[in-house]
């Protein structure tokens, strides 16, 4: 992952965001800078995604106080895809608790592709983390509800509360994914054989496919990220969606696994928890500060949006979001004991 930011100065992550007007200007700068990169290719292994406009590009930053900054196609709809994994995981953690979800799903990176069957076998049937498909399927299997339709209603309602508005299903994407999700069915069957999914796995795959087919915008994704950044309270609606402890756990998992086998590079370059989706979206969370939503369909070989990575990297530097960046402490500023 090369986001090409050697020329961009790094602000320290300590302190607050710059004033609203300055953030607005920097979002426009990030958009203009990242828009110059036309590399990458639209995902085509799901036929419906291949129809996306390769030039679409939207960017949004939502601060924890609700302040919103947009550029480009911030209100263009796209399917949430794997970004949904982060928020379904948070909902399940809120229901079942820290220890139970850690034992069942795990928190460690596989180092392998998001849809790897080998990773499951190498780890004795353990899905390892909720951001790969095996872990996401195991997580969806834990969603409350006595029947698949009840589980789906729970997921749709929960993700809508994260976004602050009702999210609808893209029927075309859902149908297209349902016709091509044999690998996920196989992974779910394998998890069932290891006792990691204890219900009929095929309805689990269907609920998971539907959650990936919800329509969002870059603005929605930024609001969802800002909800995690603000300890579980949606900054637009004021509703508590999940607990602060769940936000902490979710962001820790995102930091180590959110960009699949490229997570280390993402953390090295961007320094923030994030999650990508193959429709071209990326959500990034600056704890206590803001959520960033970016959308651009052209992907790199790992399945991550090229422009979204570049815009997010730019904002991380100029807004001082990288959680590992700090300024030199001034001893003279310390209060006497």
Q: Quote the pTM value.
A: 0.93
Q: Answer whether residue 8 shows pLDDT above 90.
A: no
Domains 20-81+215-324 and 85-212 share a fold: yes
Sequence-distant (≥ 6) Cβ neighbours of residue 117 within 8 angstroms: 183, 186, 187, 190
φ/ψ of 296, rounded to 5, equals -160, 120
Does residue 29 have a known ligand-binding role?
no
Closest CA to 273 of 216, 324, 326: 324
- CATH code of domain 85-212: 3.40.710.10
Q: Answer whether residue 9 shows pLDDT above 60.
A: no
Does residue 181 have a known ligand-binding role?
no
Does residue 305 have a known ligand-binding role?
no
State pLDDT tens for residues 16-74. Answer: 899 999 999 999 999 999 999 999 999 988 899 999 999 999 999 999 999 999 999 99
State pLDDT tens for residues 221-267. Answer: 999 999 999 999 999 999 999 999 999 999 999 999 999 888 999 99
Q: What is the pLDDT of residue 276?
A: 96
Contact predicate 242/101, CB 8 Å: no
Does residue 123 have a known ligand-binding role?
no
Confidence of residue 124 (pLDDT cuts 50, 70, 90): very high
State pLDDT tens for residues 81-107. Answer: 999 999 999 999 999 998 988 888 999
56: left (phi over 0), alpha (psi -120 to 50) or beta: beta
State pLDDT tens for residues 192-213. Answer: 999 999 999 999 999 999 999 9
Q: What is the pLDDT of residue 337?
A: 54
Q: Where are the domains of the chain?
A: 20-81+215-324, 85-212
Place of tokens 């997570």: 263
Does residue 263 have a known ligand-binding role?
no
Q: Decide which of 302 and 167 is more confident.
A: 167
Query: Among 52-61, 125-134, 201-210, 319-328, which stretch is predicted with the lowest mean pLDDT?
Result: 319-328
β strands within the chain, DSSP E? 58-63, 68-72, 78-79, 215-216, 274-276, 281-286, 290-295
Q: How far is CA 303 from CA 115, 124, 260, in A?
A: 12, 27, 9
Confidence of residue 3 (pLDDT cuts 50, 70, 90): low
Confidence of residue 5 (pLDDT cuts 50, 70, 90): low
Does residue 184 have a known ligand-binding role?
yes
Does residue 62 have a known ligand-binding role?
no
Q: Which fold has domain 20-81+215-324?
A: Beta-lactamase (3.40.710)
Q: What is the mean pLDDT of the chain?
A: 92
Q: Answer whether residue 176 shows pLDDT above 60.
A: yes
Q: What is the pLDDT of residue 7?
A: 56
């Amino acid at each position: 992952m090369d986001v090409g930011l050697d020329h961009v100065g790094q602000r320290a992550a300590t302190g607050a965001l710059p004033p609203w007007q300055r953030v607005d200007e920097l979002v426009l700068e990030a958009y203009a800078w990242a828009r110059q990169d036309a590399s990458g290719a639209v995902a085509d292994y799901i036929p419906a995604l291949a129809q996306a406009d390769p030039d679409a590009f939207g960017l949004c930053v939502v601060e924890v106080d609700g302040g919103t900054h947009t550029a480009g196609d911030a209100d263009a709809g796209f399917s949430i895809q794997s970004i949904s994994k982060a928020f379904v995981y948070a909902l399940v953690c809120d229901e079942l608790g820290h220890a139970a979800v850690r034992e069942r799903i795990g928190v460690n990176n596989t180092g392998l592709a998001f849809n790897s069957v080998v990773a499951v076998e190498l780890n004795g049937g353990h899905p390892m983390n909720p951001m790969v498909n095996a872990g996401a399927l195991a997580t969806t299997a834990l969603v409350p509800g006595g029947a698949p339709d009840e589980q789906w209603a729970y997921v749709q309602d929960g993700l809508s509360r994260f976004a602050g508005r009702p999210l609808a299903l893209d029927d075309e994407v859902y149908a297209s994914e349902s016709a091509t999700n044999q690998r996920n069915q196989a992974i779910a069957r394998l998890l069932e054989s290891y006792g990691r999914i204890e219900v009929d796995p095929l309805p689990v795959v269907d609920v998971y496919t539907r959650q990936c087919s919800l329509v969002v915008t870059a603005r929605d994704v930024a609001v969802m990220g800002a909800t995690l950044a603000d300890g579980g309270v949606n900054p637009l609606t004021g509703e508590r969606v999940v607990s602060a402890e769940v936000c902490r756990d979710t962001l820790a998992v995102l930091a180590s696994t959110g960009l699949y086998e490229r997570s280390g590079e993402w953390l090295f370059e961007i320094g923030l928890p994030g999650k990508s989706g193959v429709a071209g979206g990326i959500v990034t969370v600056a704890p206590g500060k803001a959520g960033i939503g970016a959308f651009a369909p052209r992907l790199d070989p790992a399945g991550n949006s090229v422009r979204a990575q570049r815009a997010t990297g730019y904002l991380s530097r100029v807004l001082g979001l990288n959680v590992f960046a700090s300024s030199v402490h001034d001893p003279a500023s310390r209060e006497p004991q």
